[in-house]
Structures are given as C-alpha cells and as structure tokens.
Amino acid sequence: MLKTISSVSEWRKIMRTPPGFTGKTVGFIPTMGALHKGHMSLVSRCMKENDISVVSVFINPTQFNNSDDFSAYPKTLRKDRGLLQKAGVQYLFLPAYEELYSDDYLYKIIETDFSKKLCGTHRPGHFDGVLTIVMKLLNIIKPGRAYFGEKDYQQYVLIKNMTKAMFINTEIIPCDTVRENSGLAYSSRNSLLGSDNKKIAAEFHRTLRQNISTKEVKRKLENFGFKVDYIKDINKRRFGAAYLGKVRLIDNVKQ
C-alpha cells in the first residue's frame, strides 16, 4: 500500500525504526509529478530491481528560470497517487518547499562546464536548481539506485557525474526514452500542447534523427513553426531544444 511521507523527520524515523530497510535494496525516482508512461517505465524498472521503491513529487521552483513556466507546470497529484498505488510503489515523498529549502536556497550545487552548454546556455541557473534538489533528495532518501530518463540526457550526465564527484553512494541508472506512437518523447509539458501543435511536435524527433547537418535540422524545424534554441552534436549524440508555441521540447538521439 502506498504511504505518503511529507517530512524529512518522518522519513528518517521510518529508516531508523527497526528493522527499517536492513537487508533491503531501495530504489528512488525523483519527479515533478504529472506522471506519464515515461515516468511509469522508470517505476516499473525500479520495482523489478529493488525491494523498496520510493517516488518523490516536488515541483522544484529553483530550476525554473521563467516564473510563467513554473506557474503553468501541470499538477495532477490525485492521478499521480492512483498510478503509483496501482503500480505497487511503497512510498511517495511529497515535501513542501519549506521542508526542502529551509535555507531559502542560500546553498546550491553548481557545475561549471557541461551545465553551461545546451539547456544551460538558454536557461541560466536551471541546472543549479536541478543538481541542488537532486543532491538534497539523495541525501534524504539514501537510495542504492536512482532512475532517470534519457530524454534529458544532459541532466542524466550531470547528475551521474555529481554523485561521483561528491562520493554519493547511489548508482544513477539511465532509462530509455519512452515515446508516443508519433515518436514524440513523453513529457509532462506535452499536456500543454493543443491538438494542432501536438501533431506538429512529432516532427521534432523525426527531424532530429535525420542524417543531415544541424543547420539543416534547424531550418526544417523552423519551417514547421518551431522556435529553435539549439541543435548540437556532442559525443556522438545529437541534442535539440525548441519551442512550439509556449511549450519547450527537448530530445536527443544517438548518432
């Protein structure tokens, strides 16, 4: 049965009250809610590989460089609870801002290289917020494994390298991007696309994976109506970010 935990002290009490999690493996999936098939694929893998599965839902304000984007982010907590309950997840960590940011974000984790490229160039401070909240959550939950989708491959790389650099004893597990039938990567923000833009959005992945130059990809996407942030090839992987209306889409493909 799904148990909801809202405070750090409550979670720590569960961990230290005998028998706690002694002899059991703990897997963790941090989310901002509005769960979809991509999230649930992480849940499925986590549950197969661990005795205890924990999912957090927290819309982290420090990773939003646009207040309107933060306000518009979809909130579907009742549905999320139902999905996690049905899947058999044991714990939902549902903290308030004050619980996680008692310092009001005076302290933060900053990476000075890869986070400044790609999304970091166009969303200043975004990855500072991402790395800070992930560090906090890993220190609270203390999982043996944590699961992240490869749709945001830059985020995965940064988190993996952060845990290595900071000697965090959690294995960061990458999971394949889950896509709709059209090829569009599942994203919580997809719900903000209208029906017409949803059809056009499918062209993002189709164009990104074509064997053409980044300049040609950008030109084609702009012809479809996208406002392109970047199309870049790094380490045999093509990364892309583009707006369709007010919705920002990201994706990547192996080359």
Q: Give the residue numbers marked as catalytic.
A: 39
> What's the CA gap between 146 and 5, in Å, rounded?
18
> What's the CA gap between 14 and 107, in Å, rounded?
27
> What's the CA gap between 141 and 109, in Å, rounded?
18
> What's the CA gap between 77 and 92, in Å, rounded?
11
> What's the CA gap between 91 and 51, in Å, rounded?
12
